[in-house]
Chains A and B, each alone.
Chain A
């Protein structure tokens, strides 16, 4: 958290620019599990992206590329909503790629 500032140093109207704002690491809320994707099952339907409460599903254009461990709170909604069971929750220590590469024929619209 940023340190508190006196009111004289605050912006008029309490304006905040999103680009300046600190982004707290909500990934520390996880209690021992994190999501893992199985790309051989994934159909790139993006339902996990739509329903993730923490904007922790990373996409490029319309293609799934990974999970954002910095924001993911481990709520399991992505695993629950996946229609093909491509997401499972694994222990925090599991090595997971930072970026998944979808085969191009799976990422088409």
Chain B
């Protein structure tokens, strides 16, 4: 049976996150939640940081969630997940759990604002203490819920309401931080980077992550039609372009060993990814050439470094210019 059919059956007829929520048309987050939760065989407890996903799905007294779910503040998601895990262990030891001693999986969801910036201290603590849980950061690159303010995850050059484009600024002037590397520096059993448009990669990483005896962290790119400035229907194409242009590579770090999950057969220039989004539109006007070049160089440098970490041969990048259409490239390694 295909992996997707297994995922569908795993729901037992109930979607973990059902309809009726107020997330935007074409939002990338719900399918990430569906893929993650349905790839886990045990019952789940979801801890959800403040953010789009939380605000839009739980307008009191309405909820779109059909699994045990806790709303936490921006800054303490990983701390609450730690507490849930510790409490569950304690109750299990005492034998006072109402449902017997079932295995459960604790999954925390946070956006990039709640993970890269506000929640990083709690996340760092939870990873260091070694609680057994899976933290999924869905990274759409800004505080979309409150009106597209820049975050630590916002890419260099992106237009946001707090890094606006004007006569003295061409969007965000700083590089984004590498949260996946920060999580990896905690020496936890599993750290991975995936994408909302690559469900097989995401699903197989979740399976490996929850099998670990310890913390696991996944950084998953999610599109945002509103904040990125693209039509809802092309969201998956935009995210796929992020992989094919090496802007958002897919890899995992299992017990310190790097492994590349996806190598595009044909690498497209990063401009092919950028020009699909209104937040980078100013870079294609006169004066933006230097920034486009800087982004391309950064992406290539990061890719070379990643290849070395993964023990893959570093070859001259076969960038095809201009790439009219992106061919679906084959995944290597992890993808089933």
Contact = CB atoms under 8 A, between A and B. Distances in A.
Contacts, number: 105
B26 A77 contact: yes
Interface in B15-30: 15, 17-23, 25-30
B236 A77 contact: yes
B19 A77 contact: no
Contacts of A50: 4, 7, 31, 34-35, 199
B21 to A, nearest CB: 7
B99 interface: no
Interface in A16-45: 16, 18, 21-26, 29, 45
Interface residues of A, number: 38
Contacts of B236: 51, 77, 80-81
Interface of A is mostly: loop
Contact of B30 (A24, A45, A53, A79): A53
A24 B232 contact: no
A56 interface: yes
B5 A77 contact: no
B31 A51 contact: yes
B31 A21 contact: no
Given A21-B61, A55-B17, A76 B26 contact: yes
A74 B35 contact: no
A68 B4 CA distance: 20
Interface string A53-85: 111100101100000101101111101110000
Given A16-B63, A50-B199, A80-B236, A56 B8 contact: no
Contacts of A53: 23, 25-31
A109 interface: yes
Interface in B181-218: 199
B18 A46 contact: no
Nearest to B234: A80
Nearest to A81: B236
A102 interface: no
Given A75-B232, A76-B233, A80-B233, A54 B31 contact: no
What 5 A-B pairs come out closest when comparing CB atoms? A71-B19, A75-B26, A76-B233, A23-B20, A75-B25
Interface of A: 2, 5, 14, 16, 18, 21-26, 29, 45-47, 49-56, 59, 61-62, 68, 70-71, 73-77, 79-81, 109
25 contacts: A2-B61, A16-B58, A16-B60, A18-B63, A22-B20, A22-B61, A23-B18, A29-B25, A46-B5, A46-B8, A47-B4, A50-B34, A51-B199, A52-B30, A52-B31, A53-B27, A55-B30, A61-B9, A73-B26, A75-B26, A75-B233, A76-B231, A77-B233, A80-B236, A109-B2
Interface of B: 1-2, 4-5, 7-9, 15, 17-23, 25-31, 34-35, 58, 60-66, 199, 231-237
